[in-house]
A and B are shown apart, each in its own frame.
Chain A
Amino acid sequence: MKCTRCGDRATVELRRHNAAFCAADFLAFFRRQVTTAIGKYRMFGREERVLVAVSGGKDSLALWDVLLEEGYQTSGLYLDLGIFEYSVESQAKCQAFAAAHGVPLIVSAVAEAVGGPVPVIQKVTRRPPCSGCGLSKRYLMNRAALEHGFPVVATGHNLDDEAATLLGSVLQWQTDALSRQSPALSSTHPKLVRRVKPLYRLSEQETAAYAFLRRIDYIVDECPFAKGATSIAHKEILSRMEDNSPGAKHNFLFGFLEKGRPAFERADAVTLKECERCGQVTTGTICAFCKLADQVKRSS
């Protein structure tokens, strides 16, 4: 297979674009997709400080790498989930990346904030581990950004993540979630920072290829709690569809963003208040994070 651009041997095939690229042209393609995403949704400017949420995996470290290459002002945020050896190794990958690039990394432990690590949260709540983990991560990302003066948090969610989330929301007809799924969530309250996903145009295979070609040392092993997760099942279904019909995932997500999402946007947007306990943004009196922390503390 030859590179569509230069004719050299291709190393990455992009069936949905009917193209293949050599390493150099693939890296250029990847960077273009990220800068297009940032520009299209006005995610952030070069004068802004961006907090990049990193997990030690391929997506978030690839994102941090591209943003550094493109000259953005970034710091990393690693949230220690306390998931045994997996978290120890993930944190080491993030620290090594930050040290190699001479960039700051903020580390915050879920256990300190909630009262217990993710495995304990799972036992206490008796809900899927990804539920309490996701809630804690969103809360702590926002809090860290506010505390350290970042106007925006960037996460490594890719095209597959977004398509799988969309499929999950459609299967349950979660109209609230459908109205808000976007590559860029704006700040709708002074205590809510922007949250953006600059990799939403790139597939999981493409972020993995970028990380490999850039020699980024990322954690390859899966989170031990991800096995059996619904989002993984949705990704597998979408990957089969993609294999039969290249571009299926792209069309599903991009078609939704262009044509579907506006239909779900509601005029009667919810009123945001500040949690009476911690002061962060909530729709109720006490936020979901404080309720989760209460539950964990009661059980210990």
Chain B
Amino acid sequence: MKVVLRNPRREVELPGPRRVKDVLRELRIIPGTVLIIRQDELLTTDAMLDDADTIELRPVMSGGGSSGVASAGRTP
């Protein structure tokens, strides 16, 4: 199967059949940090994948800025 990763964008080939959670474990990806996308659907970690599948593991982590708590008083 083909696994598409982002940031940076790259592709990994893995043999099937295997479950999504085993793919994540092999790639050392924490399940809650990605969307698992196959064509136009989302998959849960128990979904079974085979050799012909292409999935995208799209990171969900964003940010860098603070949550808007200024350091002194509540100013803008």
Contacts and interface: CB of A to CB of B under 8 A. Distances in A.
Contacts, number: 152
Interface stretch (A5-13, A33-41, A65-73): A5-13
B73 A272 contact: yes
Contacts of B75: 138, 192, 272, 280-283, 287-288
Interface in B30-76: 30-35, 37, 41-47, 58-76
A1 B44 contact: yes
Nearest to B58: A220
A157 interface: yes
Nearest to A138: B76
B6 interface: yes
Given A20-B44, A239-B33, A243-B30, A229 B72 contact: no
Contacts of A243: 30-32
A10 B33 CA distance: 18
B68 A204 contact: no
Nearest to B64: A226
Interface of B: 6-7, 30-35, 37, 41-47, 58-76
Interface of A: 1, 10-13, 15, 20, 23, 57-59, 129-130, 133-135, 137-139, 141-143, 155, 157, 160-162, 164-165, 168-169, 174, 176-177, 180-181, 185, 188, 192, 195, 197, 203-205, 207-209, 212-213, 220-223, 225-226, 229, 231-232, 235-236, 239-240, 242-243, 269-270, 272, 280-283, 287-289
